[in-house]
Amino acid sequence: MASPVTVALLTLPQSTAATLFGVFDVLASVRRDWSLLHGRGPLPSPFRPLLVSEDGLPLETANGVRITPHCSYAACPEPDVVVVADLMVAPGETASGFASAVEWLRGCHARGATLASACSGAVLLAQTGLLEGLDATSHWAYCDWLRRAYPGTRWHADRGLVSAGPAQRILMAGSGVSWHLLALALVARHAGPEEAMHVARINLMDLQAASPVAYASLTHGSRAADPVIAHCQQWASQHYAQESPVARMAELSRLAERTFKRRFAAATGMAPIEYVHHVRLEEAKQLLESGDSPVEAVALDVGYSDTSFFTRLFRRKVGMTPAHYRQRFGRLARQLEADTGASIARHS
């Protein structure tokens, strides 16, 4: 019998326990659960997942879950795969205290291991320098900052899964529960596509999910530290539908328009008109979710007299047309509203 595939799940105080244990459970379930459900008794998984930390001692993760790792970096059997699950660090926050983890990741990769990340775990993986010149992905809220911090990497917020590097030994999942795709990719790569499909069918994992960009808040992130620009952002949040919004913000800032544009980009990471588009499209998403107004009316409400331009822009930024967005998320919003109403009725 072949040796099990050793998968080290990097365990840090900033880790989110749900993803750590989610990947652990999926890998441990391969073959075992499908065989069990078909009356043949459990079979051993071809994977050996291990929770690994710097010293192997119990630690408390970001959400207060206490975890006892299986071993330390030094005592860990040579891993075939190392997974960096999502981390509770804010976009742009200095991710300090990871020096030993970065060194260990580099060493594992140099000895032949595949490095994988889920969601914001890309923040740590990027620190290894191994993503330079490669395609990569992360949670939609982190990609703008990662583009600025690591410009030599091609960041794709719209991709749920990216495989890159020599021998495809970098594997990255994007937003939220895209870790499902990461786990399935590892199963398919090391145990075969049939086993991956068994896992997907048992756990009802959706392989045809919408692009992560469709779920993104286009105006995510905090207000600019520059008080003048922050004031302009606040104005845009209330007056986004007005004509010539960039010129109006420049007037509000009392800066020359060229100076204003340069200062706005430095503070927010995007041009003023791009920011206005983001605000308008985020409002359009809310209108499409909550109402039945024609797309033309929604476009006009948020400041676009040209419906064709609005539709093209929406599709480019959100990953689907306004009509498709309404179909998918309007139904979800109505279902959530119905469920909430039913819950209130049951408890009244």
Q: Express each pLDDT in 260-303 by its tens digit.
A: 999 999 988 889 999 999 999 989 988 988 888 999 999 999 99
pLDDT number for residue 36? 86
pLDDT number for residue 131? 96
Q: What is the mean pLDDT of residues 112-138?
A: 95
Band (344; pLDDT cuts 50, 70, 90): very low
Distance between CA atoms of residues 240 and 226, nearest Å: 20
Region label for 81, one of left (φ > 0), alpha (ψ between -120 and 50) or beta (otherwise): beta
Q: How far is CA 80 from the centre of its chain?
A: 24
pLDDT number for residue 343? 46
Distance between CA atoms of residues 333 and 219, nearest Å: 20
pLDDT number for residue 216? 56
pTM of the predicted structure, to 2 decimals: 0.71
For the chain, how are helix, strand and coil distributed in percent, rounded to 5?
50, 10, 35
All domains of the chain, ordered by start, with CATH? 5-215 (3.40.50.880), 227-341 (1.10.10.60)
- Dihedral in degrees, nearest 10, Cα atoms 336, 341, 342, 345: 160
Band (209; pLDDT cuts 50, 70, 90): low
Torsions phi, psi of 2, nearest 5? -65, 150
Task: Report the percentage of the chain scoring pLDDT > 90.
Answer: 58
Residue 51: is its pLDDT beyond 50? yes
Q: What is the mean pLDDT of residues 222-248?
A: 88
Taking all residues of the chain, what is their mean pLDDT, rounded to a whole number?
87
Torsions phi, psi of 161, nearest 5? -150, 135
Distance between CA atoms of residues 88 and 86, nearest Å: 7
Band (346; pLDDT cuts 50, 70, 90): very low
pLDDT number for residue 225? 80
Residue 174: is its pLDDT beyond 70? yes
Residue 55: is its pLDDT beyond 60? yes
Residue 1: is its pLDDT beyond 60? no
Distance between CA atoms of residues 7 and 148, nearest Å: 31
At 89, which amino acid appears?
Answer: V
pLDDT number for residue 345? 53
